[in-house]
Amino acid sequence: MSTRGFCLGTNPWSRWPTLPWLRVFLGLGLILGLQTASSTAFYLPGLAPVNFCEVNGETKYCQSSIELYVNRLDSVESVLPYEYNTFDFCHDFKKKSPSENLGQVLFGERITSSPYEFSFNKTETCVKVCKKSYDSAKEDQKKKLDFLKKGMQLNYQHHWIIDNMPVIWCRDINGGNKYCTTGFPIGCFVTPSGVSSDACIMHPEFNKNNTYYLFNHVDITITYHSENEVDWYVSKLVSARLEPKSYKHVDENHLTCNGTPMEIPGDNTDKLNIIYTYSVKFEENKQIRWSSRWDYILESMSHTSIQWFSILNSFVVVLFLTAMVAVIILRTLHKDIIRYNQEDIQKDYGWKLVHGDVFRPPRHGMLLSILLGQGTQVLIMTFITLFLACLGFLSPANRGALMTCSVVLWVLMGASAGYVSAKVYRSFRGLKWKTNFLLTALLCPGLDIFFLGNVMDYILIVTWNLKKLLIQLIYCIFEKKFFTIFNALCVRCYLMVVLIWISLMITDVEHFSIYLLCVFGKILFYYSLVICIYSLAISFFFFKNILAILKLCISI
């Protein structure tokens, strides 16, 4: 007599299945994954340098144009970062934004092109970028200006990039030292009571109550290192720093970049014009080479220095506590063993009462095996990631490489999670092996995504509003992030296949159709989820356009 899935009187863990065609299916999935990943391959251990030369000496081996890219704006006073195009700054929509890998998307980077463009070794002074005009009588312009004020009030920071290198802003602090950061503020705000905040403290001329001061000018200094390449000279950029300034330009045809700061009153004014400008100069540095340019950036920022004393202090405290606990346990065990060896004592007490409990299966063996498998997966992923980072494969020059490597390793280490979970569950003589490998693949990642997603959605809806949230969703899907999300879900499905294959190798299967149903069911579920989100975004997109048309008709 038999039951569904197992035969009574047999050990369900005794035989390994021989399923060569499943391995063929797994191999095809791996080949497809490698083909999709080949388009985002990068040179290890870093990126190839870019050679620069002057305009009159430009060849196919070097270029003269230097592009400046902008990243998202963030603030320590707000949890929401914004893309550069969200604010009413100077934009260049003709240029194509660089593609981002999975790690950059997960880190929240949104790198786009900017209208700032320089020629190598060409000094420029007070160059106009664009002009923005605001009229309080027009609702759309009033909203843009109010949003810009809100950004200055919350101290939102720019993050600019030149030659795949962050542009740093250094300012003097107490003791004659310099404090450098990779971001600089939009502006600053003086409260109605006359209290200066953030960058306004460093500028004594920013002293008018209830006034915003916008940094509409930047002085950029680019440092390069020249090298002799066989029969021509090329240069490589080794640092880029800037100094934000605030100037109220009166005549856009005769810009001088001096005078009074750009003031924006707290109360709405009738009309306001803002002209954005920049100055750039080049300096040669013979000490810093391109291969060590990140050392200069990291050393110039004080918060990146390693706190060796704190690390040593923590290490000593951990060793002391470990030794103290070990001594206490050894003394307790030594006393119990001496008592056990005495023949006149028959009563069980101490460690003897619980010595047999280690052979008893736990009450929640399923959950314990799943958590052990997930812990093994994360532990191996962490060690491999740290090892690759120590070798220099995950350098800061490879933007998003750290997160991409972590995610890929987490996916690949799903095999170890399935193996450890099934092995431990087998030692408990558990029979629900289907539930075991399914929960190993879904429980911890599913809970993380569910709780984090709900918490983030709640924060966005409460602190922002639902309308802007839906617009962000539409932009995310229609721009280019849809395919990134799609690829991430495909990788997640491939993890399911790996885990099921490991479970097949260590378990006995009499109804393999259940496995195939689980595999294709999960793949169908994720693809359906992506299609539903895509359809939902399209619906909101057309609904928004219909509302705009109706509003226009009503106004007419």
Dihedral over Cα of 532, 535, 541, 546: its sign: negative
Residue-wise burial string across 16-50, b where 16 or more C-beta atoms lie within 10 A, e elsewhere:
eeebeebeeebeebeeebeeeeeeeebeeebeebe
Does residue 94 share a domain with residue 182? yes
Q: Is residue 95 domain-shared with residue 160, that is, in the same domain? A: yes
Show which of 320, 353, 386 is a domain's final residue: 353
Does any domain span residue 13? no
Give the whole-angstrom CA distance, residue 414 versus residue 443.
Answer: 13
Q: Report residue 488: phi and psi, to 5°.
A: -65, -40
Q: Which of 221, 189, 220, 217 is nearest to 203 (CA)?
A: 189
Could you count the other beta carbons within 10 Å of the beta carbon of residue 556? 5
Q: Which residues of 74-106 are buried (b: 16+ CB within 10 A; e: fewer)?
A: bbeebeebbbbebbbbbbeeeeebeebbbbbbb
86 inside domain? yes
Question: Would residue 1 count as lying in a domain?
Answer: no
pTM (2 decimals)?
Answer: 0.67
Burial of 152 (0-12, 13-18, 19+ CB in 10 A): buried
Give the SS3 label for residue 439. helix
Q: Do 265 and 410 fall within a single domain?
A: no
Q: Is residue 14 part of a domain?
A: no
Q: Are residues 196 and 325 in the same domain?
A: no
Q: Say whether both 115 and 222 belong to one domain.
A: yes
In which element (H, E) is residue 538 found? helix 512-555
512 CA to centre of own chain? 40
Is there a single domain that holds both residue 160 and residue 267? yes
Nearest alpha carbon to residue 436 among 4, 18, 7, 13: 13
- Regarding whether 61 and 81 lie in a shared domain, the answer is yes
In a domain, 250, yes or no: yes
The single-letter code of the amino acid at 98 is: P
Number of domains within the chain? 3
Residue 107 and residue 253 share a domain: yes
Q: Are residues 441 and 406 in the same domain?
A: yes
Nearest-angstrom CA–CA distance, 466 and 50:
44
DSSP string, 6-44: -BTTS-TTS-----HHHHHHHHHHHHHHHHHHGGG---S
The rounded distance, in Å, linking the Cα atoms of 359 and 355 is 9
Does residue 67 form part of some domain? yes
Per-residue pLDDT of the chain (556 residues; tens, 9 = 90+): 433 333 333 444 444 344 454 454 455 555 545 444 444 434 445 567 888 888 887 777 788 899 999 999 999 888 788 889 889 999 887 878 788 887 888 787 889 999 998 999 899 999 999 999 998 888 888 889 999 999 999 999 999 999 888 999 988 777 667 778 888 999 999 988 888 888 888 888 888 888 999 999 999 999 998 876 555 678 889 889 999 999 998 888 888 888 889 999 888 777 889 999 999 999 988 888 887 787 766 666 555 555 667 778 888 898 999 999 988 888 877 776 776 666 555 555 566 666 667 777 888 888 888 888 888 888 999 999 988 888 878 877 788 888 888 888 887 887 788 888 888 888 888 788 778 877 887 777 767 666 665 565 555 555 554 444 444 444 444 444 444 444 554 555 555 555 545 554 544 444 445 445 555 555 555 555 555 555 555 555 555 556 555 655 555 4
Contact partners, residue 72, CB within 8 Å, separation at least 6: 81, 82, 83, 84, 108, 109, 110, 159
User: 27 and 97: one domain?
Assistant: no
Looking at residue 445, its amino acid is: P
Phi, psi (rounded to 5 degrees) for 124: -130, 145
Boundary-marking domain end, from 353, 387, 421? 353
- Phi, psi for residue 214 in degrees, rounded to 5: -95, 135
Q: Are residues 292 and 225 in the same domain?
A: yes
Residue 546: CB atoms within 10 A of its CB come to 10
Residue 536 lies in a domain: yes
As a whole number of Å, the CA-based R_g of the chain is 31
According to DSSP, the β-strands at 124-135 and 157-158 are unpaired
> Which structure tokens are listed for 277?
């400008």
- Which among 244, 324, 308 has a CA at the least distance from the CA of 279? 244
Q: Identify whether residues 299 and 331 lie together within a single domain.
A: no
Asked whether 274 and 131 are in contact (CB, 8 A), the reply is yes
Q: Which domain holds residue 336?
A: 309-353
Q: Confirm whether 12 is domain-assigned.
A: no
